Each structure stands twice: as C-alpha cells, then as structure tokens.
Structure 1
C-alpha cells in the first residue's frame, strides 16, 4: 500500500462534518493523512504552517481562500486540489495551473440535485400546481375531479438553455417522460446534440417554441442578461421560465414587467442580487415562485460531494488519473 499523502481541509469549518460524516471521513482518512480538527481558512495562520508545509493535497470546499501565489507558497509540496463542491472558478487563480497542480471538482455530483429540482419544477409547472395551490388556498373549495383544460405534461415542450453538467443531467432525467425537449447552446454542434438525443435550436427559436424554458448556462460576461426583455417577449403567453443557474443570466426588471402583465410564470432558485432586497416585487407577484438557492446539494446530499472527493483521493493513492479533473482551458465558459 502506498504511503498516504498529507492532506489539509481548506473550507468553511462548519461544513466539514456535513460533507464528511463519520463513515465518509473514515474512508478519506484511509487514503490521506488528514486532521479533521484542522480546517484552514487563512494560509498565513501560524497554527497551520507546519502541516501546510508538508501537505500534498488540499481538500477544499465552500469558503476556501483564494489560491494565489502567496497561498500556494505556503503549500510548497501541493500536487492536487480536491474540491468538495461545484465550480472552482471562485478560488483558483492562473498560478494554480502554472504550477501544474491537479484540480478535481465534485461539480458532477452537485449537478444531480439541481437537475432533480429542475425536473420536479418542470413537472409541477406543467400541472400549474403553484397557481392551483393558491386558488385552493384562497377559495377553500374547488370542483375536485373536474377536467382542467390547458395543463398536463403530455408533449409539453421544454427548452433547455445550456448543455452544462446540469443541463445534460436534466436531459437524461427528462428522457423517460412524454415531453418534447430541445436544446440551445452555442458550443454544441448537431452531432453532439444528436448524442444527447435532443434537437439543437437557436436560442430565439427555442424561446418561441417552448412551454417551459429552463436556464443552465454558465455565468460569464457574455451570458449576463442572456434572457432579457427581447428574449422574454419571444416566449409564448402562459409559458414558464425556470432559473437554477445564476441570477445575472436573467434581466429581473424585464421579467417583473412580464410577470406583472400576467403573461409568464417564473420559478427562480437564484436571483440578482442574492438575496433580493426585501422590497422586491418578486416576493409578492403570484406568478413568481422563489426558493432560496437550495437546488444544489443540501442536507444529506452533501455527503455525495464528500464521497466524490474520497473516490478521487483513492485514485491519487493508487496512481490512477483523476476522474473529475478540471480542464482549465475551458474553465471560463464552464458553469
């Protein structure tokens, strides 16, 4: 058995026991030497200096300090960063790649709950569940068992904006349902869309022809306000916009105008800004359904992120390549 490399947690300390509950932590400690009571949020902390100087692996997560040159100088033996969360764009710097440090991310594991959330919202929106919940709450009675026209998920048209990890996982989850799914993504060609099993459409056409539009593009300067007033105007009356990506991808002022007109419905797990100011009209509009950025890994789902890191640590120990290595050449356009 190869000697276990020294590792250090670098994340918000209170997240460690959620991401690495006892059985997951035991597996991690079987392949790396790591002290769960030492969690670094400052690479200049003298209490961590000696351990950092020997560390070959950083186990990172939400709250990890920026890995700039000064931070990396404190970890001279570092050869791998195993990130127990999604995107690494918030804390990595060009210095990481310049030094040839391997970086792995649990983004694929984090994509699953977001895709599951989105699937649930698509199916609920197809039944117009939120409007009927409010109607029943207000009237306290309803003709149960009657036929409700205009709702249902048989051949409901769903447009997926962005073939990110989440977008691709969602397409997989949608496959067993009798829905008509299409995709818009400028980085996907017809052959790749064919492998995904969906038609590839220009964004404008997807917006015009979808009953439900769900946004899964990355946050980049090019995607800011990707869905603005012009794009929202293309959506059919009665259609639904779902955003679980980043709030900045949707023009909220334009969306509020459409919602006030009663033309669209919005399901938003992310907003811009986040959190919304208390006076935002989105809180009170009956056709806006808001959740507080909880589509990603929460509660017991966090252990899935830890298990992903454990599997990567095991691969490091045996000399196998990382399964979820981050390709920095495409990082800027990745979600």
Structure 2
C-alpha cells in the first residue's frame, strides 16, 4: 500500500443536494494511485465519497485493508486490483459497485461479483482513445513507407536520390486498411481514419453490412480482408475462439509489403508464423503486444528493420492516465447522485470483451 498525492480536506455535500458519500476504497497496484490520480481528481473523490486517500490496497488480506473492506460500498479499482472472489466478497457485505479506472475488468471482477449483482463500470472508453491514436499514426506511417525511407535516407547520407521513383506506391491515397474487430478501439480507429482517402474494410462477426457502412467501412470476411489490405490492424478481444485468429494461412494471404498492426493481445496472432514471414522481409509489423508479453532477449523481433516493437504502451501512459481517473470520478458522481453509470459493464458483454 502507498500514498497518492495529499488531497485537500473533503467538503461535505450541500444540504439537501440528494448526494451521499459512500465509503469508498482504492484498490490497485500500490504505486499506481499517485500516477493515476492527479490532485483535482483526488479532490473530487474525497468530496464525493468517504475515502481514505492514504489507503491503496493491492492485497485484501492485509489487516488494514480487510478492516476497510468490511465497510466499503464502492471500490475504485485500477491495474493490480486483486480478484474480487467469493472469499473477498464475504468480507465486504456492503459492497455495491466497482468503478474501474482502466480498461478490462476481467482480471478482478469475477463471477461472484455478477452473482452478487454488483454494479460495474469501466473507463475502457478512455483507455481506447490513446490506443486508437497510436494505431492510426502507424497506419498512416506504414502506408507512407516512412520507416523504410528513413533507413534508406540514412544509408545514402547526402547522396542525391529520386525518391518519387524509388517509392512509387508510398502514400495513403486509396490504400486499403482492414480493421479486425469493431471493439471500442476498432470503432475509434475507423472514426479517425474516415477523413483520409482510404478504403476501409471491417471484419467482426457481430457487425452486419449496414452497421459497418455506418462506421465508414465495408464488412468482409477475414480472409478477404487479409488478401485485400495494405495494412491489417487487430482489435478483437482475447478469447479462446480468437487465439491465432491471424494464423499462418491468413498471414500468407497478405500481399508483399503489407503491414500487420497488433495493439490487442499477442495471442491473436500466430507469432511464430509471423516471425517466419518477417524474417523473409515480405511483410512489416507494428507490435505493441507479443506472446509472451516480455520477449526473450534473443527474439529477432527486437532487431528486424521491418518491425516496430513497443512494450505494451499504446494505451494510457503518463498524463493520459489522468483521463481514466477523471472518468472514474464522473461515474462516482453519478453513483452518489443515484444515477445509472454512463459506461456500465454487463456480464453478457464482459464475456466477449477484451
């Protein structure tokens, strides 16, 4: 447990406002709260709720945490929140809501929570924004062939060269981008790509042709998407059915010099097959996620010139974390006012989400 920034003294709710201050507990990695919650948002939390800002729980068996849990009505969770299983819920008879100041709730919201009828909300929409921005940036750069051109320019060092002739296909005009998965992130990617002169394809088994058209894309099968796209970007959830969704056969469908972008989960791509393709130089890849999440030191992905490899940082980072905390504070304000959550997570949706 550790301390977030010191908050100003909490102010009571105005008399007759209809708001109340539920006992609330921060549950996340011990050192996360200080980076996640800035001073203005912490002040909102302490004004809205009976919350001890010096208590950040990453272990519910800790005596101080266990004592607080007995009185807790709302948990504001983040990355590193321990699972809320039957044994934890037995110690939290007053718990009514979990407000997750991050994306997926799969790691800590268990079936026991759904059976209890605990309300759940997530800032997944807020975390989707930087992932989509990262994706779109690399989609546009990939079509422009900027990384290859950068290396080429460095190698020539002052030698004149006909760049127009050397890169006849470079650019984004009428290039085809295939989006795999109409998740929050996938939809935001489509939204950000729509102003560009691109042909957008979408594969999602839950999205029909008319909905895809409303999103600015054409619905196609995954094989067709792989064969037709200059860039394929993966935004499907990690499920048993999506493991190696982009497998060796589908990678072979990608045309030469196509780029695969994966900001979802490493398991969605057959990484061994992808490495084989990348070693030939036939394909390019932008990988923010891998399997395992930290690659062994001898992985060729670290050094291949046709690979951009980043350490799962497409999501909220630095100041972007504050957006998720602010989103959680907004949901806490709705809860204290007796309003439904603006971004609820339902059991049936959680089963097929990231």
Query: What TM-score, normalized to structure 2?
Result: 0.92
Displacement of 1:141 after TM fit? 3.0
**Which residue of structure 2 lines up, in the alignment, with residue 69 of structure 1?**
86
Q: Which has the higher relative contact order, 1 or 2, with Cα contacts under 8 A spaced 6 or more apart?
A: 1
**Which residue of structure 2 lines up, in the alignment, with residue 306 of structure 1?**
325
Q: Helix, strand or coil for the counterpart of 1:35?
A: strand
Displacement of 1:16 after TM fit? 0.5
Q: Helix, strand or coil for the counterpart of 1:257?
A: helix
**Which residue of structure 2 lines up, in the alignment, with residue 25 of structure 1?**
42
Could you give the per-residue CA deviations for residues 267-324 of structure 1, whole angstroms, max 9, x where no partner exists? 1011111100000111122111111111000000000000110000000011110011
Distance 1:259 1:316 in 2: 50
The answer on whether the counterparts of 1:24 and 1:306 sit within 8 Å (CA) in structure 2 is: yes
Distance 1:194 1:136 in 2: 40
Q: Helix, strand or coil for the counterpart of 2:286?
A: strand
Displacement of 1:48 after TM fit? 2.3
State whether structure 2 residue 198 is matched by structure 1 residue 179: yes
Q: Which stretch of the first structure deviates more once superposed, 189-198 or 278-287?
A: 189-198
Distance 1:166 1:50 in 2: 38
Q: Give unmatched runs, 5+ long, in structure 2.
A: 1-16
**Which residue of structure 2 lines up, in the alignment, with residue 110 of structure 1?**
127
Could you give the per-residue CA deviations for residues 149-181 of structure 1, whole angstroms, max 9, x where no partner exists? 110011110000000110001111111111111
**Which residue of structure 1 lines up, in the alignment, with residue 268 of structure 2?**
249
- Equivalent position to 2:181, from 162, 175, 193: 162
Displacement of 1:115 after TM fit? 0.1
**Which residue of structure 2 lines up, in the alignment, with residue 262 of structure 1?**
281
State whether structure 2 residue 56 is matched by structure 1 residue 50: no
Displacement of 1:144 after TM fit? 6.6
Alignment of 1:117-136 (within 5 A): 117-136=134-153
Distance 2:159 2:233 in 1: 30
Could you give the per-residue CA deviations for residues 214-237 of structure 1, whole angstroms, max 9, x where no partner exists? 000000011111111100000111
Could you give the per-residue CA deviations for residues 71-91 of structure 1, whole angstroms, max 9, x where no partner exists? 111211010000011000111
- Equivalent position to 2:297, from 278, 282, 296: 278
**Which residue of structure 2 lines up, in the alignment, with residue 191 of structure 1?**
210
Q: Which stretch of the first structure deviates more once superposed, 111-120 or 186-195?
A: 186-195
The answer on whether the counterparts of 1:270 and 1:291 sit within 8 Å (CA) in structure 2 is: yes
The answer on whether the counterparts of 2:73 and 2:96 sit within 8 Å (CA) in structure 1 is: yes
> Per the alignment, do residues 326 and 230 of structure 1 end up closer, same or farther by CA in structure 2, a change over 3 Å counting?
same
The answer on whether the counterparts of 2:20 and 2:337 sit within 8 Å (CA) in structure 1 is: no
State whether structure 2 residue 171 is matched by structure 1 residue 152: yes
Q: Give unmatched runs, 5+ long, in structure 1.
A: none
Distance 2:258 2:65 in 1: 54
Q: Helix, strand or coil for the counterpart of 1:325?
A: coil
**Which residue of structure 2 lines up, in the alignment, with residue 81 of structure 1?**
98
> Per the alignment, do residues 52 and 131 of structure 1 end up closer, same or farther by CA in structure 2, a change over 3 Å counting?
same
**Which residue of structure 2 lines up, in the alignment, with residue 39 of structure 1?**
56
**Which residue of structure 1 lines up, in the alignment, with residue 350 of structure 2?**
331
The answer on whether the counterparts of 1:43 and 1:74 sit within 8 Å (CA) in structure 2 is: no
Q: Helix, strand or coil for the counterpart of 1:82?
A: strand
The answer on whether the counterparts of 1:44 and 1:74 sit within 8 Å (CA) in structure 2 is: no
Q: Which stretch of the first structure deviates more once superposed, 147-156 or 130-139?
A: 130-139
Query: What TM-score, normalized to structure 1?
Result: 0.97
